[in-house]
């Protein structure tokens, strides 16, 4: 270690202080503030974007449940109308008056579909359910 003692070492560090020009100082301060504002806006945009993504996921869930409910409701309606058609063939339902007009002895929709699926049977009558 005797060799290290022979290396000249600087004992003092010089530091000088200079006052910055007001224009330079203002530019640095303005740009620093602008940078902080941009970062803040990015943060707000990021948060809002996450909220929108969560809202879209929630809306997708709502739509999916709504579609399932609509399918189930449509199936229930079809079952009711099929039962009504069996009892009241070629019926026309008036929801407003709560009545059904039908043709006694006429074929039901199910019977018409079966007849139409057979090559020799061509029937032009069809049941209509009308909401008035």
Q: What per-residue confidence (pLDDT) applies to 12?
A: 82
Is the Cβ–Cβ distance between 108 and 123 less than 8 Å?
no
23-27, 54-58, 77-81, 104-108, range with the lowest pLDDT: 104-108
pLDDT tens, residue by residue, 58-82: 999 999 999 999 999 999 999 999 9
6 within domain boundaries = no
14 within domain boundaries = no
Q: What per-residue confidence (pLDDT) applies to 1?
A: 56
Closest CA to 123 of 108, 111, 112: 112
Rounded percentage of the chain residues whose pLDDT exceeds 90: 63
Listed residues 55, 70, 87: the one ending a domain: 87
pLDDT tens, residue by residue, 105-117: 889 888 888 888 8
Mean pLDDT of 39-51: 98
Same domain? For 73 and 110 the reply is: no
Per-residue DSSP letters for 39-98?
Answer: HHHHHHHHHHHHHHHHHHHHHHHHHHHHHHHHHHHHHHHHHHHHHHHHHSTT-EEETTTT
**And the tokens for 45?**
């945009």
Number of domains in the chain: 2
- CA–CA distances in Å: residue 41 to residues 33, 37, 44, 75: 12, 6, 5, 50
7-16, 24-33, 84-93, range with the lowest pLDDT: 7-16
Closest CA to 22 of 30, 10, 12: 30
- CA–CA distances in Å: residue 42 to residues 33, 121, 122, 132: 14, 71, 69, 55
Residue-range definition of the domain harbouring residue 111? 89-132
Same domain? For 76 and 33 the reply is: yes
């Amino acid at each position: 270690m005797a060799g290290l003692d022979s290396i000249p070492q600087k004992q003092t560090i010089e530091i000088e202080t200079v006052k910055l020009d007001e224009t330079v100082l203002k530019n640095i301060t303005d740009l620093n503030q602008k940078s902080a504002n941009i970062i803040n806006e990015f943060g707000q945009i990021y948060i809002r974007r996450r909220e929108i993504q969560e809202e879209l996921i929630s809306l997708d869930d709502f739509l999916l449940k709504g579609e399932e409910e609509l399918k189930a409701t449509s199936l229930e309606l079809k079952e009711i109308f099929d039962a009504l058609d069996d009892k009241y063939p070629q019926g026309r339902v008036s929801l407003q008056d709560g009545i059904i007009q039908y043709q006694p002895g006429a074929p039901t929709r199910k019977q018409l579909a079966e007849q139409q699926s057979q090559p020799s049977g061509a029937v032009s009558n069809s049941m209509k359910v009308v909401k008035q």
